[in-house]
Structure 1
Amino acid sequence: MARTPQSYSSSVWLQLAALLLGAVFINAVMLAVQPIVSAVLLYVSVNIVLLCTGAFTLWFSIRIQKTYMADADKLRSAVALLEDKLELKTSRDDSPSAALAKVTSQVTHLLKRDQEVRHLVRVQGLIDHELAVGNRVFFESKLQHYLSDQSEVGYGAVYIIQLSHPEISRAGIKQVSRLKGCVDVLNGIAAGYADTVIARLSDTDLVMLIAGLSGKEMEKLGDRMAVLLSRASCFADCAEQDVLHIGYAEYQREQTSYQILSEADMALKTAQLHGPNAAFGFILQSDKPQAKGSVWWRSELNKALQEQRFALSFQPVFSWHDGEIIQHEVLVRLQSSDNGQIPAAIFLPMAHNCGLSSQIDQHVLIKTAKLCAADMGNYSRCSVNISIQALLEPQWWQWLDHMVISGQLEPDTLALEITEHHLLKHYKQLRKSLIKLHTLGFALIIDQVGLVIDNAVYLDELPLESVKLHPSVVRNIDQHLEQQLFVRGLIASYAGKSIRVLATGVELEAEWQVLQKLGIAGGQGFYFSQPMNQIITQSQL
């Protein structure tokens, strides 16, 4: 408990009184038992000692009291300065503890407000606040990513959904309500596909991208989408009326986003001519690989596991501060039975459908661990993407525990990456499991951040080491202020958690220069290095 100046004064007087009583008692004893001469000499000596001791005690107590008063004055001055900076109104009669409590409360409030502002800055340029989905800028950046990135499936579909309004008076609040209802239906449809993007193009238009959708599937989904949306509860008061139309277009890699959106818009106009609640689309006669059925994929993937036909490559992640290699991301390709090379973006969704994702994850982890163990002389950590299917399977966790206990997996040589949109979808189921991964010694990384616009509910609960931006956020960031605002807000929100923000898909020097100015911690991409066949060191670059 802290002592006040008054308690220090009382202590000093009590000490002096004790010394005086002690001196009287000692003198009385000596006079009673000693001869006169010896008693006088001893009497003088003892009193000199007692007086010196009393003087020192008094000096020391006064000095402590002055120090306390000086510290108290400094505390009052500091609290007063904080009150002035925070524009707090306090009474002169408030004790220092009461004033400090008010300051603490105000600082807590300001910190919470700061987090809200940072989140607002993060999404301000990319979100439609009425519907809580991405806006046109957000969608075009994602579409451009799917059209140009070799790691994604090279084809898919874009659907434009336009609401029609037979009565002008139904605009405004009613329109927003109907759009929200349509977004809910689209989210339900999107749940059945691996890679989707939903956004608002204009006041009355929504847009949805589905990667990997072929021609016949696209047509069936367009008709199904028209039925589900027109029968949605948000149109309950519009029975038998023309409430919406859908236009869709197939896209392929190397096309432009303008071309795709123009074709979808043309299809939308054609749908309007076909009648109420109609859907129409343009399907390309493309040269994409012939679709194979689930039986073929199951057989091919099982054989690939038995014959170890999954080839690994390693893309280094570089630190911005010193240019050193932080880690290598492990990339996987399937060497097919006809000697083809199938990228992960194509075979992983099929592995998920066949229930083989967790087995492939196990194979990749073991193979990576062996390579890391052989490279211990030039230590460099590897990061491996883990599927949502594996994380949700109890058998996979039993396997992981066994591999760690037996020493076949060294957690400190591996970082595990989890895709953000899968994490958000299954967060309640995954939270404890991901904390367990950290307890085992694995570093946790969230990747593809920015593919969806949502609150990062995991931020305050998971012991993350890094997050990795989705390539669509990085591409041409030097030309788009909205993307810069997003990244700046993201970095600010993670700064207080000591979480690194890494960029993926960096291809141009101009992109990297802007990312450095924004405060990015590191990056990977073709600007730095192509994926390598082996783990490399800084000196091998």
Structure 2
Amino acid sequence: MNLTRMLTTRLTRFWLWSLLALLVIGLLFTFVGYWRIVSQQQQQQLNVIQQQLLQHYRDGQLTQADNWLPPLLALTDITEVRIWQGTQLRQQFSRAHASNGQRSMRLLLDEQADIWAELRLRSPWQHYFPSSGDWWLLLTTLLLLLLLLRLGYLWYSQQLQGMETVADRCRLILKGRYPQARNLSSVSHPRFINRALSKLLDELADARKERARFDNFIRSNTFLDHETHIGNRLFLDNRLNALSNAQGMMAHGVLLLLEFEELEQLSGEGQMGDYLNLNVAHISRLLHSQANSVFARRSYNQLAIVVTQISLAEAEQLAAKLIKLCTSLLPRELQNRSNSCHLGGAYFKLGDNQQQLLEEAEMALRAAQIQGVSTWFMYDKGAVDAEFARGSVRWRSFLELALEQRRFVVFAQPVFDTEGKLHHQEIFTRAKEPNGTLVRATLFLPMAAKCGLLPKIERQTIEKVVYELLPKANAEAIFSVNLSEDTLMNNDFMRWLRTLLLEHRDLAPRLIFEVDEAVASRCQQELQPKLRLIRKMGARLCVDHVGLQVVSSQYITEGSFALLKLHRSLIKQIHLRAENQLFIRSLLGGLHQTDVEVIAEGVEQFEEWQTLRVLGVSAAQGPWFADPEPAAVS
């Protein structure tokens, strides 16, 4: 309560000095009035003595002054009267118990005979001496004054008690921490200010939620199928574009096309929609274990599934499970239930053409339909990457040996702002074979997740950044490191990270930790303590792959993320995609009053970067700027 104490002290001092000023002014006027009254009384007494002395001198009765002068002196402040003739003292009259006077006055009686009288008067200040009762009265007055000051101080403290809370709430509002400011309410004075702030913060929170709902509405109407609530054809195209570049596909995987026949026989009201939704629900649960899967509706009776980082054998098992599942869900109303569901798949590898992939999947689907029964067919060119064909045991051995020998190499990709200045560098990891060959992260990370080695790999990556890159780089160099869900949920890793950041608090502000949007939106409650710990240590948080999933953007402000990276599926050909531009405009509009920086990933063309700058994106990274290179000290 520093502010309350400070204001109370200042007001109390002002009040005290005001009272003291009034007291001094009152005492001054009292002193002047007392002096004037006593002076007037003494002057009147002198006039009476002078008249009596002149009258008795003319009557020749001055020698008989012993009879009338002492009683008269007892009624005045005159302590002594001396009659002089020249320098000769002729008569002297004194009060019996009078003290020595403080001043004397000369009164001329006869100028020719040089007879004059000397009068001695006591000082007006000796006219009054305080008694013991007066001292007690003065002491009582001082005590009452002190008591009044204390009561006034307490009253001011009570009246200003809420000012500290108001100041704290205003400070939180200026920092953009609106939920904390809303929770810090006060029922003390000033009540109207607190009520006004609470009302405005409530309205702001409602507006932000409404903005998030509107943003989610735009996402849903742009990328979701209204009937099945999964991705639409535009959503599928964006994801396929994100998985490819000018050189072709960037990862291994499979594209599956699932088509239902004779759905027009389901003539009941909403029966076809119910059947599709039933299949979508079961397929979604089946794909839940596939972290890199994409599920969309390509046409009214065709569903598309894309799964990356999957082997050919696993893709064939998945296709068989899908056909078996969909066949078991066929309604009895269909006449030809044995030939109502077909699946065609195309397995792709690194560098395959995207358009050719779609054609191969459609060819496989037609091949399955020719069979005359509900079945599946896989279009396989025998293109299985040798690196990806490792068994799980061999992958675990390779990764554990790489961890032990610290054979993980860090690559850095620069991120540039709109002025062309280096914003930060994102760190990527590659594993080195014993023969020196580098294994891409897209290959070993899914296997590391299955083996539970992600926390160890990401810990080794952070150690390389903190111990090798940051100390030797220039003072403005900033690096970002990706953290997976498994790593964030690992308590041992979080304890290690807290110790590391505490030991290197000077380097913590130069670190950015990136979290996937799917994880940040799905695990908000579980992640809050982890993210709060990272923020308190001084590092910043970034949410990655924004736009890959259709989720509400409310988690961005609730998680206090400082940066936001748009997924490459939104960026590719954005100058030709009005719906993607609408999504980014909506997202930036919702973050207008925050300090969140929006960064684009995967920029490949100048037109894309130019469009992003017009939309208001803060920075970007991608092949158009620079590809990831081995991290070097600058």
Tell me whether the two structures share a fold, i.e. TM-score over 0.5: yes
Query: What is the rounded CA distance, in whole Å, between the counterparts of 1:521 and 1:423 in structure 2?
Result: 21
Report Cα offsets for 1:145-192 as digits up to 9, x if no partner: 223388985221111122234554537622222222222222222222
Paired residues of 1:372 and 1:413 also in contact (CA < 8 A): no
> Does residue 380 of structure 1 match 2:477?
yes
Paired residues of 2:212 and 2:554 also in contact (CA < 8 A): no
Instruction: Give me the identity figure in percent.
Output: 26
| Counterpart residue number, 2:293 | 196
What is the deviation of 1:367? Answer: 0.5
2:598 to 501, 519, 533: 501
| Counterpart residue number, 1:300 | 398
Amino acid of the structure 2 residue aligned with 1:326 = H
Paired residues of 2:480 and 2:511 also in contact (CA < 8 A): yes
Report Cα offsets for 1:420-463 as digits up to 9, x if no partner: 22333434422321222212222111111122222235223201
> Could you state the TM-score of these two structures normalised by the residue count of structure 1?
0.75
Partner secondary structure for residue 460 of structure 1 = helix
Query: What is the rounded CA distance, in whole Å, between the counterparts of 1:193 and 1:428 in structure 2?
Result: 23
Pair 1:113–1:415, CA change in 2 (3 A): closer
> Does residue 460 of structure 1 match 2:551?
no
The 5 A counterparts of 1:173-322 are 173-232=270-329, 235=331, 241-242=337-338, 243-286=340-383, 288-289=385-386, 291-320=389-418, 322=419
Query: What is the rounded CA distance, in whole Å, between the counterparts of 1:390 and 1:493 in structure 2?
Result: 30
What is the deviation of 1:399? Answer: 1.8
Pair 1:131–1:428, CA change in 2 (3 A): farther
| Counterpart residue number, 1:512 | 609
Pair 1:115–1:471, CA change in 2 (3 A): closer
| Counterpart residue number, 2:487 | 390
Query: What is the rounded CA distance, in whole Å, between the counterparts of 2:447 and 2:394 in structure 1?
Result: 10
Paired residues of 1:158 and 1:207 also in contact (CA < 8 A): yes
| Counterpart residue number, 1:128 | 225
Pair 1:409–1:221, CA change in 2 (3 A): farther
The 5 A counterparts of 1:468-487 are 468-487=565-584
> Could you state the TM-score of these two structures normalised by the residue count of structure 2?
0.65
Can you give the 5+ residue segments of structure 1 that lack an aligned partner in the other structure? Answer: 1-22, 39-95
What's the RMSD between the two structures over aligned residues? 3.5
Query: What is the rounded CA distance, in whole Å, between the counterparts of 1:465 and 1:107 in structure 2?
Result: 20
| Counterpart residue number, 2:466 | 369
2:243 to 146, 150, 155: 146
What is the deviation of 1:318? Answer: 0.8
Partner secondary structure for residue 369 of structure 2 = helix
Report Cα offsets for 1:469-495 as digits up to 9, x if no partner: 111221111122122222222222222
Pair 1:468–1:230, CA change in 2 (3 A): same
Can you give the 5+ residue segments of structure 2 that lack an aligned partner in the other structure? Answer: 1-25, 42-191
Query: What is the rounded CA distance, in whole Å, between the counterparts of 1:421 and 1:252 in structure 2?
Result: 25
What is the deviation of 1:513? Answer: 0.4
Higher alpha-carbon Rg: 2
Query: What is the rounded CA distance, in whole Å, between the counterparts of 1:341 and 1:303 in structure 2?
Result: 14
> How many residue pairs are counted as aligned between the two chains?
455
| Counterpart residue number, 1:160 | 257
Amino acid of the structure 2 residue aligned with 1:380 = A
Partner secondary structure for residue 382 of structure 2 = coil
Query: What is the rounded CA distance, in whole Å, between the counterparts of 1:239 and 1:409 in structure 2?
Result: 72
| Counterpart residue number, 1:399 | 496
Amino acid of the structure 2 residue aligned with 1:224 = K
What is the deviation of 1:466? Answer: 0.7
Amino acid of the structure 2 residue aligned with 1:241 = R
Pair 1:384–1:260, CA change in 2 (3 A): same
Pair 1:502–1:251, CA change in 2 (3 A): same
Query: What is the rounded CA distance, in whole Å, between the counterparts of 1:347 and 1:214 in structure 2?
Result: 13
What is the deviation of 1:201? Answer: 0.7
Pair 1:176–1:428, CA change in 2 (3 A): farther
Partner secondary structure for residue 197 of structure 1 = strand
Query: What is the rounded CA distance, in whole Å, between the counterparts of 2:548 and 2:518 in structure 1?
Result: 7
Pair 1:443–1:213, CA change in 2 (3 A): same
The 5 A counterparts of 1:404-443 are 404-407=501-504, 410-443=507-540
Amino acid of the structure 1 residue aligned with 2:300 = D
Q: Which moved more, 1:287-296 or 1:343-352?
A: 287-296
Report Cα offsets for 1:303-351 as digits up to 9, x if no partner: 111222111121111111x322111101111111232111101011111
Partner secondary structure for residue 189 of structure 1 = helix
Query: What is the rounded CA distance, in whole Å, between the counterparts of 1:329 and 1:235 in structure 2?
Result: 51
Query: What is the rounded CA distance, in whole Å, between the counterparts of 1:449 and 1:221 in structure 2?
Result: 28
Query: What is the rounded CA distance, in whole Å, between the counterparts of 1:150 and 1:467 in structure 2?
Result: 27
| Counterpart residue number, 1:341 | 438
Q: Which has the higher contact order (CA 8 A, sep 6+)?
A: 1
Partner secondary structure for residue 134 of structure 1 = coil
Paired residues of 1:122 and 1:489 also in contact (CA < 8 A): no
Paired residues of 2:216 and 2:551 also in contact (CA < 8 A): no
What is the deviation of 1:34? Answer: 4.2
Pair 1:165–1:229, CA change in 2 (3 A): same
What is the deviation of 1:250? Answer: 1.4
